[in-house]
Amino acid sequence: MGTISNDEAKTGRGPVKEEASKLNRETLQELMAESFGHLQAGDVVTGVVVAITDDDVVVDVSFKTEGVIPRSEFLDRDGNLTVKVGDEVDVLVEKFDPTTGEIKLSRERAARIRIWEVLETAYREKTPVRGRVVERVKGGLSVDIGVRAFLPGSLVDVRPIRRLEDYIGQDVEARIINFDRRRNNVVISRKAILEEQLAAQREETLAKLEEGMIVTGTVKNVTDYGVFIDVGGIDGLLHVTDISWGRVGHPSEYFKVGDEAKVVVLKVDREKGRVSLGYRQRFEDPWTHVEAKYPVGKKVRGKVTSLADYGAFVELEEGVEGLVHVSELSWTKKVKSPKGFLHVGQEVEVVVTEVDVERRRLSLSLRQAEPNPWEDFAATHRVGQKVTGKVRNLTEFGAFVELSPGVDGLVHISDMSWSRRITHPSEILQKGQEVEAVITALDVVNQRISLSMKELLPNEWDSFASAHQVGDEVDGYITNVTDFGLFVELAPGVEGLCHVSEVERLSSGPLAEEFPKGRKVRCRLIRLDFAERRIGLSLRGITQPDGSEESAAAPEAQAEEVQEAATPELGEEPEDLVAPGEESVVPEAEGKEEA
């Protein structure tokens, strides 16, 4: 047996007691371990709420001890307590001393760990997560899904969103597309969820849509060429031409984003996933009864919808529109463009002049809805009647005379005088001057009136022709020399033509040298045409006066006054001049037909 020293006996710390103390400590640790199991800092365990105070929540974690957690960790966003006594909660062991049994718990950290595990599972399995939009951040939105996640602006919706702020406070469903727990980085996409939902809805919608169906949809977008309407996961196009039977300036006149609209399915392309819609097809085509409702000659009221250089479009009712050609705008005004005559939105009274149902065209007349001043004038005037009017305009070929409001007649330059050679009407007329004339032609359909001032003057030609006959020899003076003959003045205002074939030549030189202007000649009348007022002459076989009579009988001033009268351009032979031995004629003044 061993012996015990005096010191050991005095202190009582002999080997036996030290061994006993060591055994007691080990036993205590074993008992503590048995009591608290394998609990250690960092563990997430489930506990039961056993008490709630004003500041704390006491949780029993079933390890012979209880932990105290701040009450604030159990409040929701609105400040309401989310647990009650008896509820089970997950908590994190932040600190644990097995010797003393002291334990510190946290619900927030436990929830954070749990949510990261849940989010990681959702990311791997591609399951949706829900959260609330907290705020707008650079490039998108911040969403609380247990942790802060980033929702890029481009992934908020299937369409671009202008105001991301409108989503703040809303609960959204999204899919995690990027997950990095180490960096606390989570990126989500709401667009991915919407696209899946729309794809499923689109397939279902395409399967049941049939042409001719009437469906209700929501306007998603309005463009210049039409309206896109969601008819159940698929956007159908309502083209601008199918909005109304009438004229559509812009689709926004009929629809705006968010409107509900009943439309007709016109075409379904299941391969391309396209749907064509119609709105006007819900209503009867107004052209079905146009022919009976708007017969030719009927006077109706309408509204000007559009103006073009060639006329104005007038809407008689929605879907029925006609054209008033620029020539049908006024009886009295020469309208070049309707823009200065009418304006869009103006109500007018028109007369239907033509109906073409097959081509869906109506011709209208604005002027026929008013009295025709030309018909009124024709009812009280006739050809040969003397009228008085005021010169309204002068042109190179004549003068326009206003006979009544909106009714003008033309005095051609050749009808202003029997004898005087007039190169421009301004020589004897001026604007605003009152004149008397005789109506020589009246055409109501083409709105033309021909007037003659010379009919009221003495007619020198008739006087001369009445006093002479074919075969008479007369004296005259050469007023013009051309390649095809000589023009000879027989009396004031009376000229005849001696064709070159009827000139007896004494030399082979130029005709103008042998027969200069102003020379007196003796001629024989070979033609008198009262209808055309033309005289044909001949110099053959006639003794000519000697040159001594020339200067006395043909003053230069008189020759200059008549030298160009009723003659064509130099070198141009009138078409009806005859060959040698046939009658010669005087060409008529040109420009009258043009007037």
Top-tier CATH class for 44-111: mainly beta
**Buried-state track 417-452, b at ≥16 Cβ within 10 A, e below 16:** bbbebbeebeeebeeeeebebbbbebeeeeeebbbb
Which candidate, 360, 247, 251, 252, places its Cα nearest to that of 302?
247
Given the candidates 3.20.20.140, 2.40.50.140, 3.40.50.1100, 2.60.40.10, the CATH classification of the domain at 209-282 is 2.40.50.140
Task: Please tell me the distance from the alpha carbon of residue 100 to that of residue 515, in angstroms, as a whole number.
Answer: 156
Q: What is the pLDDT of residues 62-94, one digit of tens each?
A: 666 677 888 887 787 778 888 888 888 878 777
DSSP 86-109: T-EEEEEEEEEETTTTEEEEEHHH
Given the candidates 3.30.530.20, 3.30.2130.30, 2.40.50.140, 3.40.30.10, the CATH classification of the domain at 286-364 is 2.40.50.140
**What are the start and end residues of each CATH 2.40.50.140 domain in the chain?**
44-111, 126-194, 209-282, 286-364, 373-456, 460-562
Rounded average pLDDT over 322-348: 87
Task: Enter the tokens of residue 553.
Answer: 């009988």
Q: What share of the chain in percent tops pLDDT 70?
A: 82
Instruction: Decide if domain 373-456 falls under CATH 2.40.50.140.
Output: yes
Alpha carbon of 202 to those of 132, 229, 237, 424: distances in Å? Answer: 28, 13, 15, 81
**Residue 561: pLDDT over 70:** no
**Residue 350: pLDDT over 90:** yes
Q: What is the pLDDT of residues 407-437, one digit of tens each?
A: 899 999 988 887 677 889 998 899 999 999 9
β-pairing, 235-239 with 274-278? parallel
DSSP 425-479: GGGT--TT-EEEEEEEEEETTTTEEEEESGGGS--HHHHHHHH--TT-EEEEEEE
**Residue 573: pLDDT over 70:** no
**Residue 192: pLDDT over 70:** yes
* pTM check: above 0.75: no
Q: What is the pLDDT of residues 119-157, one digit of tens each?
A: 889 999 999 999 999 999 999 999 998 888 999 999 999
pLDDT at 142: 94
Please give the DSSP secondary-structure letter assigned to residue 588. Answer: P
**Residue 31: pLDDT over 80:** no
Query: Is residue 486 within 8 Å of 503, Cβ to Cβ?
Result: yes
Which candidate, 123, 120, 104, places its Cα nearest to that of 112?
120
pLDDT at 20: 47
Top-tier CATH class for 460-562: mainly beta
Return the higher-pLDDT residue of 39 and 581. 39
Q: What is the pLDDT of residues 198-218, one digit of tens each?
A: 888 888 888 888 888 889 899
**Residue 558: pLDDT over 50:** no
Which candidate, 246, 263, 385, places its Cα nearest to that of 303?
246
β-pairing, 361-365 with 347-356? antiparallel
**Residue 572: pLDDT over 80:** no
Task: Enter the tokens of residue 396.
Answer: 């190179």
Q: Which of the four pLDDT bands, split at 50, 70 and 90, describes residue 554?
A: very low
Q: What share of the chain in percent tops pLDDT 90?
A: 33
Q: What is the pLDDT of residues 270-293, one digit of tens each?
A: 888 889 999 988 888 888 888 888
CATH superfamily assigned to domain 126-194: Nucleic acid-binding proteins (2.40.50.140)
Per the prediction, the chain carries an average pLDDT of 81
